[in-house]
Structure 1
Amino acid sequence: MPLLSTTPMLEAAKKEKYGIVAFNVHSFDSIYWVLETAAELKSPVILQTTVGTVQSLGAKAIADTVKAAADQYQIPIGLHLDHCTDFDVILTCIRAGYTSVMIDASMHSYEENVRRTKEVVDLALKVGVNVEAELGKVGGVEDDIVVDEKDAEKAVPSECRQFVEETGVPTLAPAIGTAHGIYKGVPDIDFDRIEQIAALVDVPLVLHGGSAVPDEDVKRCVALGMAKVNVSTELKNAYSEAIRDHFSNEPESLDPRMYLQKAKQAAKDMVQSKIRIVGSEGKAHPLYQ
C-alpha cells in the first residue's frame, strides 16, 4: 500500500489513546526488519531518518526502498525526516516521497522558530506532507545537533498553544525532560507539563528521546497525549551489540548471514517490545485502508 502522511495516523492514535513508534533506520536492511515486525503485530509504524542518513544513503533511494517494502505489508506506514534545520534538505525529501518532515528551529528565538516552521508548513501541507516542530530544547545528541544538559529547556504550555496557532503545525514535539541517546540516570520527565500542554493544543504530541525511558513512563506519556514516540539509539545499539557479541563468542565465524541474522533478530525483538509498550499492536485497522 502507498506511504501515508503521518498526520491522520497520529490523529487516530491521539483519539484512540495509543502511540505510534517512529524508528530511526540507518541502513536499507533496517527498513525491512522494522516493517516486517510491525506487520507481524498488525501495527502502524513510522520509519524516520536523520539528515546524516539522508546524506549517506540518498533521499530518493530511501523513499524508493520504503515504497517498495511497503508493497509487501498491509499496514499504515509513514516516512519521516527527523531533526532537520535545512530548508533545502526538507524540500529534497518531500520531492523524494517523504510523507512527514521535521523542521527543528528550536535553537533559535521563539519568533524565528515560528517563522521557519511556518515556512515549511506553508509548503508541506499543500502537498499532503505532515510537519513536526520542536518547542523548548531536548537535551542530548541527535546526528550533528548537540544540546548540553545545562542548555536544555522545557516547553512552556502557553507558548505551545500560541506556537501551534501561529504556525499551523500539525504535530508538536515539546521538550518535557527527555533526552536523546541513552540515559546515564533516571530521566526527569515532567508529566504535569505534558498534561498541561495536551490540554491546550489539539494536535498530536511527539516524545523525543524515547530510547531507554522506563516502559511505565512511556505508557504514561502516551496516555497523557504523546501520540508519536521516537526510538533511535536503543534500536541501533541492540543491532550493533548482537554483531559484537557474535564476534566475541565466535571470532572465526565470518559469514555475514550468520551475524546479520542475529543482529536482525535482536533489532526485531526491540521493535516488537516498543510497539507493544505504546499499545499500537493490532491498530492497523480499516481507517487506513
Structure 2
Amino acid sequence: MLVPLKPVLDAARRGGYAQGAFNVNAVCQAKAVIEINETFRSPAILQGADLANAFMGGRADFANGTVADKIVGARNIGEAVRRFGAESPIPVVLHLDHGHDMESVRAAVEGGYTSVMIDGSALPFGENMELTREVVLYAHERGVSVEGELGVLAGVEDDVSSLTSTYTNPLAAVEFVRNTKVDALAISYGTMHGASKGKDVKLRREIPIAVRECLLHEGLDCALVSHGSSTVPRYIVDEINELGGNVQNAHGIPIAELKAAIPCGISKINVDTDIRLAVTRNLRELFERRPELKGSESIGGVWRLLDERRDQFDPRAFLPPVFDTVMHGVVPDDDRQALVDAIERGVREAVGTLIVEFGSFGKAPLIERVGLDEMAERYKRAGL
C-alpha cells in the first residue's frame, strides 16, 4: 500500500529504529527496492531526487532537465511504484529528495509522490522557512508529508553541493519546525553528500540529541533525518576498480557511526551512493563475465559508456542507451533482461544490508496504513 511518510517515521520513532530511504533512477530499481523490503518485511521509502525525475523523463543531461522533463519523469516513477507497491503487503512511500522549488514539488505530487522534501537550506533562514511553509500548505492539503532541511551539508550530489558544512542550530530548529509545521527535518551533524566523505568520519551526535530534546520540550512533533549517509562499502569500490573502473578517494560514513545516531533521534537515513556503486559494479561484472554482450545491439551501448567513463560510478552515466528500460521497464530481449537482472541484484545487495543494519526488518506490521485522503483530513483537523 502507498502511504505518506509521516506514519512510517512515527513508527520508527516509537520503535527506536531508523528507516532507510533509498534513491532510485529506473523502473527496475524501484521494483528491486520494494521487493527486498518485502523480503525483510520492512516498510519501504523510495526516493526520487529532483534531477532523477529529469533523468526518468528521458533527459541524459539531467542536470539541465526542464520542468517538462521532471513532470514526465515523476509520472514514470510514480507509475512504476504504483505498479509494484499499490498491492504490496508492506507500506511504500515515494519521496521527493531535494526538491528546490514549488515547480519541482508540484511535478512530484502530480506524478504520484506521497511525500516531498523541499531543500531551502542554502537560503537565508527566513526565506527557507517561508518556502518550506508554502510547500507544507500545498502538500498537507493533499495528504502528502513534507521534509525540510536546516543546516548545510558539505559534498556534492546531483545539483546539491557545498564546500563546507553549517551545523544545525537546535534553537533555530525549534523556530523552523514551529513555523513551517514540517513532518521531518533533515539536519547537518557531520554527514556529507557524495562518495568522498573523508576517512573515519565522526558524527556530532550531540546535535540530534539537542534538536530532539528541544522539540520535545516545546511539544513539537517532527522526525529527524540524516542526509549524505551512504556507507560506501570498500569491497564494492575495490571490485569496481578490479573490473576496469577508476573510483578514487571513496570513503563513506562508518556504519557504526550511523547506528549510534539512531538512539540520538535519527529516524530516517538517506542512501544513494551505495546503490550507485553496487549497480555499477554489477554492470562491469556482467560484461566481464559475458564479453559477447559488449557487441550486443540491445545493450552494447551501455558497455561503451562504461569503458569511456571509467572514473564514474553513477549508473545514469551509462544507461541512456536503454532509456526505454529505464523509463518504462521495457525488456525487449534476453540481453536486456541480463542487464536488468544485474541492476536489480545490485540494488537488493545494497538495500538489504542496510535494512538489517538500521533495524527496520520485521517492522512493516507496525505502520498505520493511512491513505492520502485520510492523511489530508488529519492534517486539516490538526491545523497543519
TM-score by length of 1: 0.94
Look up the match of 2:343.
263
CA shift digits 1:258-285 (9 cap, x unpaired): 3442332232111110101110000011
For residues 134 and 188 of structure 1, the distance between their equivalents in structure 2, rounded to whole angstroms, comes to 21
Instruction: Indicate the residue corresponding to 2:62 in structure 1.
Output: none
Q: Is 2:181 the counterpart of 1:181?
A: no
The reply to whether residue 208 of structure 1 matches residue 227 of structure 2 is yes
Are 1:288 and 2:368 counterparts?
yes
Tell me if structure 2 keeps the 8 A contact 1:218–1:277: no
Runs of 4 or more above 6 Å deviation? none
Structure 1 alignment gaps of length 5 or more: none
Question: Matches of residues 91-130 of structure 1 in structure 2 within 5 Å?
Answer: 91-130=106-145
Q: Determine the C-alpha separation between the residues in 2 that align with 1:83 and 1:142.
A: 10
SS in 1 for 2:361: coil
Residues 85 and 259 from structure 1, CA distance in 2 versus in 1: closer, same or farther, beyond 3 angstroms? Answer: closer
Contact 1:178 1:209 in 2 (8 A): yes
Q: Which amino acid aligns with 1:118?
A: R
Distance 2:340 2:83 in 1: 22
In structure 2, what is the equivalent of residue 193 of structure 1?
207
Consecutive unaligned residues in structure 2, runs of 5 or more:
57-72, 216-220, 232-252, 295-334, 370-384
Report how many residues are paired. 286
In the alignment, the residues of structure 2 paired with residue 51 and residue 96 of structure 1 have an alpha-carbon distance, to the nearest angstrom, of 12
Specify the alignment match of 2:329 in structure 1: none
State, as a whole percentage, how many aligned pairs show the same letter. 33
Q: Is the partner of 1:197 in helix, strand or coil?
A: helix
Cα RMSD between the aligned structures? 1.5
| TM-score, with length taken from structure 2 | 0.72
| Counterpart Cα distance in 2 of 1:191 and 1:161 | 18
Where does residue 172 of structure 2 map in the other structure? Answer: 159
Distance of 1:56 and 1:105 partners within structure 2: 22
- Report the counterpart of residue 184 of structure 2 in structure 1: 171
1:141 matches 2:140? no
Q: In 2, Cα distance between the equivalents of 1:248 and 1:266?
A: 16
Q: Which amino acid aligns with 1:173?
A: A
Query: Which digits, 9 at most, give the CA deviation of each residue in 1:7-52, with x for residues without a partner?
Result: 1110111111111111000111100011000000000010011111
SS of match in other structure, 1:285: helix
Verify the 8 A CA contact 1:22 1:46 in the aligned structure 2: yes
Shift of 1:91: 1.1
CA contact 1:50–1:82 (8 Å) conserved in 2: yes
